[in-house]
Amino acid sequence: MTTREAFISKIRAAQPASRPRPEVPVFPSPEGDLMTRFITALTAMGGTCAHAHGIDEVNAMIAARFGEGAVVASAVEGIAATRTLSPETVPASLQDVDVGVVRGRFGVAETGSVWFSEAEYVVNSIGYLAQHLVVLLDPAQLVDGLQQVYRRPDFRSARYAALVTGPSATADIEGVLIRGAQGVRSLTVVWLAQ
């Protein structure tokens, strides 16, 4: 037996017996409809919301806000992008992207967060290297709070998951708020049914 195998064998022998996890109750939620609570929480964190009736409106919104010359990378079909994301996209190649466009799986009203897995991002670095992130979110896909997030089967089955709440920000240096210090400078949630 090698030293490694002996070490692992000792660890396995010292493991306590397994026992069931305690049932965590779902605590009552605040009053108010989910979308209003989501918008309030997202706005408090520096994010913005917009409404669209179709992909064409989203394309027009992106062009008007970021300009025709913006480098747009999209994981959403129908978005006028200069780069289409695919699993073969090299993550570092997104370092010059102005606008990343993705569809969020669901939103959390309690925190104003949007949940992404590797399926939504396609290339995980889009959520961090793009200057601006535009998220399409179906209003029917809002959950009340973080307790509901942890109970969802897609939360347990994802290899990678991120809850994103607003743009990146820090106030470490002299108490001055700086957006985009370690990630996107702006996050816009566009309400658009699937």
pLDDT computed for residue 97 by the predictor: 96
Is residue 101 within 8 A of residue 79, CB to CB? The reply is yes
Is residue 177 within 8 A of residue 131, CB to CB? The reply is no
Q: Write the pLDDT tens digit of every residue in 91-118.
A: 999 999 999 999 999 999 999 999 999 9
Of 172, 171, 165, 154, the C-alpha closest to 187 is 165
pLDDT at 156 over 80: yes
**Which stretches of the chain are DSSP H helices?**
3-13, 34-44, 55-66, 118-121, 126-129, 146-151, 153-157
For the segment 27-35, the average pLDDT, to the nearest whole number, is 86
Query: Domains of the chain (ranges plus CATH)?
Result: 31-191 (3.40.50.10420)
Supply the mean pLDDT for the chain.
Answer: 90
pLDDT computed for residue 180 by the predictor: 66
The pTM assigned to this predicted structure is 0.83
pLDDT at 142 over 90: yes
Render the burial of 66-95: b for 16+ CB within 10 Å, e for the rest. Answer: beeebbbbbbbeebebebebeeebeeeebe
